[in-house]
Amino acid sequence: MNDTMLIVHQTARPQGFPTAGHFAFVESALPDIPAGSALVRNLYWSVDPYHRELMDDVPGGFVLDAPLEGRSIGRVIASRTPRLPEGEIVFHRRGWRTHAVVTPEETRHLPRFDGVPLTAYLSLLGGTGLTAYVGLTRIARLQEGEDVFVSAAAGGVGTATGRFARLLGAGRLVGSAGSAAKAELLTREVGYDAVFDYHDGPAADLLAKAAPTGIDVFVDNVGGEQLAAAVGALREFGRVVRIGTISQYNAPDAPPPRFDHADIVEKSIRMEGFLVSNYRDLQEELYEFAVPHLQSGRLAVDETVVDGFEHIVDAFLGMLRGRNTGKIIVRDRAEVTAGG
């Protein structure tokens, strides 16, 4: 066994977009394993937009020059607890490092479903898919035939939202994304009816063209101008599902979005945000909903997989600039060789 590990630290606070210079890879000896714990070699890592929020000097944010936290899947390689036997595959939150010492309480056993890849537990069956599922079923309370607009439609949450909305019987499904290639892929493969590149003009005009008769639900991953456009396009009793505000994460001085507040009253619009961490009790329900569709082929996972832990920072920075399609996941090189 290699007896060293690599851990990513954040070394400085960014203004605007972060760069590789805000991070450092720190090498150290493998830690001792306290009684009741196990050593995990990480196999897959999730890098997420919320990590950008944690890079700022905010309550609960990343501590400088200390190991970062993130979602990861790994294999137990040495253990001092019968509850985490060697070889077991576990989910935990000590990501951004090649190895982690974990206790049974901070790990989650992953059920294995035939034909479902491990990466799905970080994408469609993980927090990303759960966010999409909660947004549609609990916040929007989507009804069959209702027309839906999704921003950042080509990302992890956006692709999951599109695929789930189709399975839930949505009517016209409209999205926005950062390139014509992404728009084409979403209509060809994910089930969107129309997708516009938000760089192509004012969001209100582009949305009016893509959804000429309006929308019932807006699933918002972006905020800003697209939120204002969607409020204008919503019909009576429309819902805005506020999931994220990625247009602001790297632009702290951008003015807050402006929308017509009178629309909210006159069209009886409901706008509700949520954090997926408050809906963990729906994890089993998500499996029950999604796994049979995954196994039948009606549902597919959309992922951009980056090979090699040494690329984790590049993967994160690339995601912030839209280089991913679907959920971005980093894979250990040993898993590539093993065909994982």
Contact residues for ligand NAP, defined by CB under 6 A:
48-50, 127-128, 131, 152, 154-158, 177-179, 182, 198, 221-222, 243-247, 274-276, 319, 322, 324, 327-328
Q: For residues 187 and 195, is the Cβ–Cβ distance under 8 A?
A: yes
Going by C-beta distance under 8 Å and a sequence separation of 6 or more, which residues neighbour residue 129?
120, 123, 160, 164, 286, 290
Least Å from the CB of residue 197 to ligand NAP: 8
Name the residue number minimizing CB distance to ligand NAP.
155
Q: Residue 79 or residue 247: which is nearer to ligand NAP going by CB?
A: 247
Q: Residue 41 or residue 71: which is nearer to ligand NAP going by CB?
A: 71
Distance CA 158, CA 132 (A): 7
Show the tokens assigned to 221: 């991953």
Least Å from the CB of residue 219 to ligand NAP: 9
Least Å from the CB of residue 124 to ligand NAP: 11
- Would you give the distance in Å from CA 92 to the centre of its chain? 16
Going by C-beta distance under 8 Å and a sequence separation of 6 or more, which residues neighbour residue 109?
88, 90, 91
DSSP codes of every residue in 40-108: EEEEEEE--HHHHHHTSS-TT-PPTTSB--B-EEEEEEEESSTTS-TT-EEEESB-SBSEEEE-GGGEE
Q: Residue 16 or residue 212: which is nearer to ligand NAP going by CB?
A: 16
Q: Residue 158 or residue 257: which is nearer to ligand NAP going by CB?
A: 158
Q: Residue 5 or residue 190: which is nearer to ligand NAP going by CB?
A: 190
Torsion of CA 255, 235, 272, 159, to 10 degrees: -80
Q: Which residues pair with 4 in a beta bridge?
A: 29
Q: Residue 309 or residue 316: which is nearer to ligand NAP going by CB?
A: 316
Q: For residues 330 and 306, is the Cβ–Cβ distance under 8 A?
A: yes
Q: Angle, nearest 10°, between helix axes 156-167 and 127-134?
A: 50
Least Å from the CB of residue 115 to ligand NAP: 24
Least Å from the CB of residue 175 to ligand NAP: 9
Distance CA 164, CA 175 (A): 14
Question: E strands, 193-313, where?
Answer: 194-197, 215-220, 234-242, 270-273, 303-307
Distance CA 295, CA 297 (A): 5
Q: Residue 67 or residue 156: which is nearer to ligand NAP going by CB?
A: 156
Least Å from the CB of residue 48 to ligand NAP: 5
Q: Residue 72 or residue 245: which is nearer to ligand NAP going by CB?
A: 245
Least Å from the CB of residue 310 to ligand NAP: 21
Least Å from the CB of residue 154 to ligand NAP: 5
